[in-house]
Amino acid sequence: MKLIILENYSQASEWAAKYIRNRIVHALLWVILFQLASVLCVLLPGLPRDHPESYHSFMWNNFFKHIDISPENVHILDGNAPDLQAECDAFEEKIKAAGGIELFVGGIGPDGHIAFNEPGSSLVSRTRVKTLAMDTILANARFFDGDLSKVPTMALTVGVGTVMDAREVMILITGAHKAFALYKAIEDGVNHMWTVSAFQQHPNTVFVCDEDATLELKVKTVKYFKGLMMVHNKLVEPLYSMKEMGAERSQSKKPYSD
């Protein structure tokens, strides 16, 4: 497990972005992108795809339209599917067909939930329909003018087990309001009431946080991981490009001469 501690939100975000870029370039894994964080929906009729607060709109407006990716290579759970469980099962099959998840990137709530795997969720759960906790509904009310009646009460979400199957997991945790969740994630034991704690048992987890998020950690824990930053920064510097990596790979494939 790696814990990357940066000074503030902006630095944490930049480090994570650089890491993801290098990871993509090295593995050439930008072929099919699964949006795994979760998709808000109500049971029926659900939020339309073009609703400004739908997850589909959020992801396209804030991410996908800014990168070089074909729409057919993006998979987002459809909260308006006629059979929601069938939609979830099909999503799991698409992940398998693509060879699994190479890198999962997600954030957490103050209660330590990952995606919409609320406290008490099974740590071996798969993609499914999930009832949202009141804390999550209240947290999302700001996107609906504070009107709780407009906030979806159900969600389609990948399960903890789905994420655990990923070859690598990156979790971003920033802000003092998530400090106790970070403590539960890395210093306390694995607990289904804090679903993010499951990633203690993942063989390749990277937690990226800011200083405010470390307020509940032991001083020696913070000092230990800060002491590793010189090593961890080598993961993002230098910042590679596809062209540079292609040239490097071509050079490595040249036959040796006597």
Count of CA atoms in the C-beta half-sphere (13 A) of 54: 17
9-39: pLDDT as tens digits: 999 999 999 999 888 887 655 445 555 433 3
101-129: pLDDT as tens digits: 989 999 999 999 998 899 999 999 999 99
Specify the CATH class of 2-240 in words: alpha beta
3-state secondary structure of 212: helix
146-194: pLDDT as tens digits: 888 878 888 888 999 999 999 999 999 999 999 999 999 999 999 999 9
**DSSP class of 37:** S
Sign of CA dihedral 36, 37, 42, 45: negative
CA R_g for the chain: 19
- How many whole angstroms from its chain centre is CA 130? 18
Q: Which helix or strand (DSSP H or E) is residue 6 part of?
A: strand 2-6
Give me the residue spans of the domains in the chain.
2-240
| Residue 108 contacts residue 173 (beta carbons within 8 Å) | yes
189-248: pLDDT as tens digits: 999 999 999 999 999 999 999 999 999 999 999 999 999 999 999 999 988 776 666 666
pTM above 0.75, yes or no: yes
- What's the burial of 237, exposed, middle or buried (CB within 10 Å: 0-12/13-18/19+)? exposed
Which range (5-9, 39-43, 46-50, 204-208) has the least confidence?
39-43
CA distance 168 to 188: 21
Neighbours of 42 (CB within 10 A): 15
Question: What single string gives the DSSP state of each residue in 183-204?
Answer: HHHHTS--BTTBGGGGGGGSSS
